Amino acid sequence: MAVVAAADMPDFLTVYASSQPGKLAVVDDRPGAGAVAWTYARLEAEANQLANVLASLGVGPGEKVIWCGPNSAQVVAVVNATRKLGAVAVPARQGRSADPGRWSHAR
């Protein structure tokens, strides 16, 4: 089996967002959280914005970014943002977090 480097894989989110920008990508309808429905274009924009912030903090290939928050639309953006940088998202939810959207850069 051949191993394909992540850098050689297309950015499927970007490709899909450009071909189907208005198509629904993520729905977060957890009780009490307020309904969120993102299109592929919105998910791409959220992931790109977060990728830029993470890159400015030094996150790059092989780095780990820990997400401490609920399963939500934001975690999908975190996973895609880190993938864009060649990094890895590590969702870690232990109990209920007072801050519903924290993340940490682990070296």
CATH number for position 41? 3.40.50.980
Domain count, the chain: 1
Residue 13 placed within a domain: no
* Reported pTM: 0.76
pLDDT of residue 73: 86
Is the pLDDT reported for residue 97 higher than 60?
A: no
67: closest CA among 47, 90, 86, 88? 90
Q: What is the pLDDT of residues 14-59, one digit of tens each?
A: 888 889 999 999 998 877 777 889 999 999 999 999 999 999 999 9
Residue 47 placed within a domain: yes
Q: Give me the mean pLDDT over the 70-97 stretch.
A: 83
Q: What is the DSSP letter of 42?
A: H
Contact criterion met (CB below 8 Å) for 63 and 90? no
Q: What is the pLDDT of residues 55-70, one digit of tens each?
A: 999 999 999 999 888 7
Domain that holds residue 65: 36-107
- Measured over the CA atoms of residue 72, residue 66, residue 16 and residue 41, the dihedral's sign is positive
45: closest CA among 20, 21, 72? 21
Residue 54 placed within a domain: yes
18: closest CA among 50, 43, 36, 37? 43
pLDDT of residue 47: 94
